[in-house]
Amino acid sequence: MEKVGYILLAIVAAAWLIVILVGMVAAWPYGIVGFVILAGLGLLFAQVVKERLENKEDDYYSKNVDQ
């Protein structure tokens, strides 16, 4: 059930992102600002995910320390 919920949220988020991109293309000269903002947010998100995947200390604590 939880996985189905995540899948539905991912589908809605992807559709929302596509709608935003289409809107930016429609407002082309000024839409480039939105493209730059989305690119910046995407790069920051990728950096956070990369750091989290490479952090062995967080993995150790989440698996071995009692909560």
Average pLDDT of every residue of the chain: 86
Q: What digits encode the pLDDT tens for the residues 8-33? A: 999 999 999 899 888 888 888 888 88
23/57: higher pLDDT? 23
**Alpha helices, H only, the chain:** 2-26, 28-54, 56-64
63/19: higher pLDDT? 19
Identity of the amino acid at 26: A
pLDDT band of residue 66 (cuts 50, 70, 90) is low
Helix 28-54 / helix 2-26 crossing angle, nearest 10 deg? 150
Residue-level pLDDT at 16: 92
